[in-house]
Amino acid sequence: MEISFFEPIGVGNGLHSTNPWLQEMPNPVDRTVWGNYLAVPVKFDGDKAFEALNGLKDGDLVDITIGDVKYTVPVIQQFGQMQGTVALALGYGRMEAGFCGTNVGVNVNACVARNGGYPQYFSDKVTVSGKQGKEKEFGCVQYHHTYGVTDKDKATGQTINADEAATVFFDYFTGAKGFQGAITDRSIIYTTNLADLKESVAEVKEKREHAQFLNSKQIYRGHDALYAKGHHWGMHVDLNACIGCGSCTVACMSENNVPVVGKREVSRHHEMAWLRIDRYYYGSVENPNTVYQPMMCQHCDNAPCENVCPVNATNHSSEGLNQMTYNRCIGTRYCANNCPYKVRRFNWLDYTTADLFPANQIKKFGEDIPYGADNLTRMVLNPDVTVRSRGVIEKCSFCVQRLQEGKLTAKNEGRTLRDADVRTACQTACPTGAITFGDMNAKDDLAAKLESPLNYIVLEEVNVRSSVNYTMKVNNRDESLEA
Amino acid sequence: MSSPVSLIREPLITGNKTYHQITEDLISPTEKTPPLSWMLGFIVAVTFLAVFVFTVGWTIYHGIGTWNLNRTIGWGWDITNFVWWVGIGHAGTLISAILLIFRQKWRTGVNRAAEAMTIFAVICAGQFPIIHMGRVWLAIFIFPYPNTRGPLWPNFNSPLLWDVFAISTYFTVSLLFWYTGLVPDFATVRDRAKGMRKKVYNFLSFGWTGSAKHWQRWEALSLVLAGLSTPLVLSVHTIVSFDFATSVIPGWHTTIFPPYFVAGAIFSGFAMVLTLMLTTRKLLKLEDYITIEHIESMNKVILLTGTIVGVAYLTELFIAWYSGYVYEQFAFFNRALGPYWWAYFGMMFCNVVSPQLFWKKSWRRNIWLTFFLSIVINIGMWFERFVIIATTLARDYLPSSWSYYSPTWVEIGIFLGSLGLFFTCYLIFSRVAPVVAVAEIKSILKTSGNQYKGAAHHHDGHQEEVHHDHH
């Protein structure tokens, strides 16, 4: 058994553990937050279940002995973790790291041995126990990690999608397993290899044309003529460029006053991020590929959230924006239920101290004024963006405040708006240029991106008319070299 | 209303009752000190009502975050309870309106209590759409009232707004219908009362004198209200089903929902009527008015509607497979075999399998079995709504967002507390108003069965004398 240590992209070696944005930014590999989790290898049992090391499940506590020292850490099942190895992040468990970083996770920095002055980010003197208990607050933002990972079926010897077979919880003693295509037949992620590019492009084209044909049969007239005039804001996300680093999610939180909710709330799936990066594994269970999919409000022109709101708190602008009117929202959450992309976020508690709810103003550190209500702390907020109160829904606005600013700039300079005038926070933060934002009606940056035959729209057949295009992920791997 | 006396039909009222005895049997519970069983029941019910007040207060003070709903599952026990309570109400309306139109005379034995159940169930149901709001203090926004914000109207496209109209109409009509029936009975109570009690019941009976003109107007109003209620039996739960059917979520977006919800509502409503009536008839000694015949008739309705619901479940599965649409296929596959398989199994067992016992006549007429199954069916119908709401949301389009949900103590407390609210209302009702419609049951005393005729011979031709005398 070997353990590898790594400095996670969020807190690094511990230097950044005082920053709540980074603590709450999901780790790109295992999607956990607020602490370090022992990544244990997973294998498929050849029938209909995944088995992790020692029969461990997500959130189980284990005793791990590294050298002579015993630590108790929670576990996460990690696809692609090599059998016979485990991994654990450094940089956690700091004892003096301010309000947010103190005693978060387990400190294993001391386990990094030195060899000739060089740190050794591994150890082979490690034993992992069985389940010792359950982590009370398992901070992970994604519970289904795979998009059709393949392995051999024991009975037939054929290669099947193991995760689809494993969607069954109880088979009524029939031996039933999940049906093939349950996940991969969805139009969420398209991937291909460079060698198969032509066929894949044709396949996506056929699927999209079929969806568009069905969508054209709708009995409603729609508002396409309206959106063809003026601005029609849209986005393009290149899945090939996205490295899943999470910069966009942090930029979004900083720009839009999105609250950090802490470990307990994340463990109850109450995270507020307007923009998340869905991470799926696909390909063989032993050696899967990864695809990152930034997912934010798709600003659907046929938005299912809008027609279900009883009080018109969410509605559509003539520029194709799906808008939230926080003042009007009464919090029925119907919009969030009816969102196929599940990008709407509800203020379950008073996360921002925007309201006068004494019950919600937790004085965690015995301060006079609740932490979030302190004038100095509140200077972190963007004055251009409303701070949302408890009980309202919020979601990505395409940085409407930046659009407004861009439009004013262009107007003041007496010229038409260019895509370069309006850049969303996520777009500016992306180190690889995966995100392009702009006016779909203009012949500019975004329009150029929209011409690619690799583009697709997530869940196009639902006919919500999303304004966000994604590019099919293309791998350039020599399959013959793989083990 | 009179029909030939049947030699075959069993009598609807047993025990050779005279009109006076009926008055005595049905009015006297409102005049006596409640028995110990009632007192104990009332204490338990009020305790649960206190739990309701506390947990609702807790929710409003601390926020919906005290529930375990999450970013994926926005509705859980709250809306499950809402739909469950609305459904329960339907049996009362069916009995009072549709069975009236079909001239089902056995309805008179149970219609009063069933209508009361409707009203209390709708009161309970109405709590949930309000308390599930994130900002309950702004609930007024759902009403279309003139305002200076534009004016800004609610969204008439939203099924939640349709709910507001459907439920409020339903409540109003049910309350009027119920109260209209109570007016002559309150007058009967008044006529036997003294002092303050007499004044109160006089007020409640609107000064009813029992003149022919009063009866004529009363009959006309009852008929109008029955006519208004009849479409409501079908429309209210249809509109509740639109909360789901008009969405885009696979497992919700289903055209079968309106008839399936209505059948389920009547099914669960009759189960609740049986739960209540079997207890009430025992405690208030009403075995002569709510007979085995009544119980058997209601069990037949349960068997029919339970089977309709079963066919609907199977149709959903078939259509999901037949659709060729992977989202729909997975939604139903997941319901049966996914993480909430136990809820689906509970629903199938309680709602489809258990009522099939009622094919056997002797089991339909078995009080203990009926009582047991009525509880089982109520549980099953709660599971059905939970399956539809939470299971569907837990695993919808994007696997990245799949999650799981189980309630906190607050949510459980609110549900148990709503039972307290319901039973508090029902127990008070059973002591202040006759639980069987006195005036109406008198009208059927002589119309079914040859038993009264036989009795009349013994009692020297009483029937001529009392035909129009309801007091």
DSSP notation for B213-259: HHHHHHHHHHHHHHHHHHHHHHHHHHHHHHHHHTSSSTTT--TTHHH
What's the pLDDT at B318? Answer: 95
Chain A residue with CA closest to B398: the answer is A341
Question: Would the CB atoms of A349 and B63 count as touching at under 8 Å?
Answer: yes
pLDDT of residue A440: 92
Q: How far apart are CA A157 and CA A144, in angstroms?
A: 25
- Please give the Cα distance from A42 to A75 (Å, whole number): 12
Question: Is residue B368 in a domain?
Answer: no
Check residue B102 and give its pLDDT: 79
Q: Token pair of B448, please?
A: 């079914």
Asked if B133's CB is within 8 angstroms of A308's CB, the reply is no
Residue B109 or A158, more confident: A158
Higher pLDDT, A464 or B24: A464
Is the pTM higher than 0.80? The answer reads yes
Residue A65, helix vs strand vs coil: strand
* Sign of the Cα pseudo-torsion (B230, B233, B234, B236, in order): positive
Helix, strand, coil % over all residues of chain B, rounded to 5: 75, 0, 25
Say yes or no to pLDDT of B9 above 80.
no
Q: In degrees rounded to 5, what are phi and psi of residue A324?
A: -110, 130
For residue A483, is pLDDT > 70? no
Q: Please state the separation of Cα A146 from the chain's center in Å.
A: 13
pLDDT over 70 (residue B247): yes
Chain A, 186 to 245: residues with Cβ < 8 Å from chain B are 186, 188
In b/e form, how buried is each residue of A201-237, taking b as 16+ CB within 10 angstroms? beebeebbeebeeebeeeeeeeeeeebeeebbbbbbb
Establish if B232 belongs to a structural domain.
yes
Check if A12 contacts B (Cβ < 8 Å).
no
Give the mean pLDDT of A128-138: 92
Kindly list the residues from chain A whose CB atom is less than 8 angstroms away from the CB atom of residue B161. 310
Chain B residues within 8 A of A348 when measuring between CB atoms: 63-65, 69
- List phi, psi (to 5°) of A363: -95, 80
Q: What is the pLDDT of residue B441?
A: 82
Task: Give the residue on A whose Cα is nearest the Cα of B329.
Answer: A182
Looking at beta carbons, which residues of chain A come within 8 Å of B342?
Answer: 170
Band (pLDDT 50/70/90 cuts) for residue A472 is: very high
**Phi, psi at A131, each rounded to 5°:** -65, 125
Residues constituting chain A: 483
pLDDT tens readout for residues A233-285: 999 999 999 999 999 999 999 999 999 998 999 999 999 999 999 999 998 89
pLDDT at B460 over 50: no
Percent of chain B with pLDDT over 90: 67
The pair of three-digit structure tokens given for residue B48, joined into one six-digit string: 């649960």
Question: Which pLDDT score, from 0 to 100, does residue B452 have?
Answer: 52
Residue B470: pLDDT band (50, 70, 90) is very low
Q: Is residue B74 part of a domain?
A: yes
CA separation for the pair A273, A378 (Å, rounded): 19
Q: For all residues of chain B together, what is the average pLDDT?
A: 88
Q: Which residue of A has its CA nearest to B139?
A: A330
| Model pLDDT, residue A431 | 95
Q: Say yes or no to pLDDT of A360 above 90.
A: no
Residue A259 touches partner B, C-beta closer than 8 Å:
no
Question: In which band, very low, low, confident or very high, does the pLDDT at B459 lie, cut at 50, 70 and 90?
Answer: very low
Tell whether omega for the bond before B151 is within 30 degrees of 0, i.e. cis: yes
* Chain B residues touching A147 at Cβ < 8 A: 399
Q: What is the pLDDT of residue B447?
A: 66
Chosen for mutation from A280, A333, A356 (greatest number of chain B CBs closer than 10 Å) is A333
Q: Give whole-number Cα distances, A143 to A283, A445, B53, B392, B401, in Å.
A: 18, 36, 36, 16, 7
Domains of chain A in start order, with CATH, are 2-134 (2.40.40.20), 191-475 (3.30.70.20)
> Span B172-189, mean pLDDT?
92
Measured between alpha carbons, how far is B7 from B4 in angstroms, rounded to an integer?
9
Q: Which of residues 123-162 of A touch B (CB under 8 A)?
A: 142-144, 146-147
* Residue A452: Cβ-neighbour burial (10 angstroms; 0-12, 13-18, 19+): middle
A268 touches chain B (CB under 8 A): yes
pLDDT at site A175: 85
Mean pLDDT calculated for residue range A456-478: 92
Residue B265's pLDDT band (cuts 50, 70, 90): very high
**Residues paired with residue A394 on neighbouring β-strands, in sequence order:** A345
Q: Is there a contact between A403 and A422 (Cβ–Cβ < 8 Å)?
A: yes
Using 50, 70 and 90 to split pLDDT, how confident is the model at B91?
A: confident
Angle between helices B111-131 and B159-192 (to 10 degrees): 140
**Is B246 inside any structural domain?**
no
Q: Which of A144, A309, A464 sits opposite B158 (nearest CB)?
A: A309
| Residue B24: pLDDT over 60 | yes
Q: Which of A96-105, A253-262, A385-394, B381-390 has the lowest mean pLDDT?
A: A96-105
Percent of chain B scoring above 70 in pLDDT: 93
Residue A25 DSSP one-character state: S
Of A279, A332, A344, the CB nearest to B160: A332
Our CA-based measurement puts residue A440 at a distance from the nearest CA of chain B, in whole angstroms, of 26
User: Of the candidates A278, A308, A332, which has its C-beta nearest B400's C-beta?
Assistant: A278
Of the residues A31, A137, A147, A330, the best mutation for testing chain B's interface (the one with the most B CB atoms within 10 Å of its CB) is: A330
In order, the DSSP letters of A417-443 are --GGG---HHHHH-TT--EEEEETTSS
3-state secondary structure of B266: helix
Chains A and B form CB pairs within 8 A to the count of 195
Best B400, B402, B405 member to test A by mutation, with max A CBs in 10 Å, is: B400
Q: Which of A98-112, B61-75, B92-106, B429-443 has the lowest mean pLDDT?
A: B92-106
| pLDDT of residue B432 exceeding 80 | yes
For residue B386, the SS3 value is: helix
Interface test mutation site (partner B, options A163, A258, A307, A332, max chain B beta carbons within 10 A): A332
> Residue B345's closest chain A neighbor by CA?
A172
ipTM above 0.85, yes or no: yes
A24-28, A105-109, A277-281, B1-5: the lowest-pLDDT one: B1-5
What confidence tens digit (pLDDT) does each residue in A195-226 have?
Answer: 899 999 999 999 999 999 999 988 888 888 88
Q: CB distance B63–A280 less than 8 Å?
A: no
Interface test with A, best of B67, B71, B345 (most A CBs within 10 A): B71
Q: Which residue of B has its CA nearest to A171?
A: B337
* Predicted pLDDT of residue B456: 47
Domain-located, residue B223 = yes
Residue B48, min C-alpha distance to chain A (Å): 25
Q: Distance between CA B124 and CA B78 in Å, rounded?
A: 11
pLDDT at B344 > cutoff 90: yes
Two structure tokens written together for A483: 């083990």
In contact, A78 and A85? CB cutoff 8 Å: no
Beta strands in B357-408 (DSSP E): none
Assess if residue B342 is contained within a domain.
no
Grade residue A100 by pLDDT with cuts at 50, 70 and 90: confident
> Would the CB atoms of A328 and B141 count as touching at under 8 Å?
yes
> Residue A446 in contact with residue A227, Cβ under 8 Å?
no
Q: Cα B23 to chain center, whole Å?
A: 26
Residue B448 predicted with pLDDT over 50:
yes
Tokens, residue A376: 């100095």
Is it the case that residue B314 has pLDDT exceeding 60?
yes
pLDDT tens, residue by residue, A311-331: 999 999 999 999 999 999 999
Q: Looking at residue B457, what is its pLDDT?
A: 46
Chain B residues near residue A347 by CB distance under 8 angstroms: 63, 134
CB B270 within 8 A of CB B302: yes
Q: Is there a domain that residue B208 lies in?
A: yes
- pLDDT of A351 reads 86
Convert the pLDDT of each residue in B392-419 to its tens digit: 999 999 999 999 999 999 999 999 999 9
Give the pLDDT score at B467: 44
pLDDT grade for A391, boundaries at 50, 70 and 90: very high
User: Which residues of chain A lie closer than 8 angstroms to B71, CB-CB?
Assistant: 269-271, 336, 342, 344-346
A43-52, A369-378, B358-367: the lowest-pLDDT one: A369-378
CB A51 within 8 A of CB A315: no
pLDDT at residue B31 in the model: 85
CB of B186 closer than 8 Å to CB of B205: yes
Q: In the prediction, which pLDDT does B275 show?
A: 92
List CB contacts (< 8 A) between A164 and chain B. none
Note down the domain range covering B186. Answer: 19-136+154-238+258-297+408-466
Does residue A75 or residue B453 have the better pLDDT?
A75
Q: CA B299, B300, B301: angle at the middle one, nearest 5?
A: 90
Interface check A312 vs B, CB under 8 A: yes
Tokens of A5: 């240590």
Rounded to an integer, the average pLDDT of A4-30 is 92
User: How far, in Å, CA of B405 to CA of A420, rounded?
Assistant: 44
Say if residues B445 and B15 touch (Cβ distance below 8 Å): no
pLDDT in tens, B32-63: 888 899 999 999 999 999 999 999 999 999 89
CB atoms within 10 A of CB A49: 13
Q: Kindly give the pairing relationship between strand A85-89 and strand A2-6.
A: parallel
Who contacts B385 (Cβ-Cβ below 8 Å, separation ≥6)? B79, B80, B83, B84, B87
The total number of structural domains in chain B stands at: 1
The answer to whether the CB of B204 falls within 8 A of the CB of B184 is no
Q: With bands split at pLDDT 50, 70 and 90, how would you rate the model's confidence at A362?
A: low
> Lowest-confidence range among A19-33, A360-374, A409-423, B443-457?
B443-457
pLDDT of residue B100: 79
Nearest to A429 by CA among A296, A262, A329, A271: A296
Cross-strand pairs, A188: none
Among the partner-chain residues A147, A185, A337, the one whose CB lies closest to the CB of B74 is A337
Q: Under DSSP, is residue B440 helix (H, G, I), strand (E, B) or coil?
A: helix
- The pLDDT score that the predictor gives to residue B101 is 77
Residue B450 confidence class, pLDDT cut points 50, 70, 90: low
Of these ranges, B16-20, B307-311, B467-471, the one predicted with the greatest mean pLDDT is B307-311
pLDDT single digits (tens) B95-128: 888 887 777 777 888 888 889 999 999 999 999 9
* Interhelix angle B292-323/B326-337, nearest 10 degrees: 130
Rounded to an integer, the average pLDDT of B287-301 is 88
CB pair distance less than 8 Å for A185 and B326:
yes
In this structure, is residue B224 part of a structural domain? yes
pLDDT of residue B43: 97
| Of the partner residues B74, B134, B330, the one whose CB lies closest to the CB of residue A330 | B134
How, if at all, do strands A60-66 and A69-78 pair?
antiparallel
Contacts of B320 in chain A (CB under 8 A): none
- Cα Rg of chain A, angstroms: 24
Whether residues B139 and A330 touch (CB distance < 8 A) is answered with yes
Interface test with A, best of B164, B323, B401, B402 (most A CBs within 10 A): B401
Q: pLDDT band for position A365 (50/70/90)? A: low
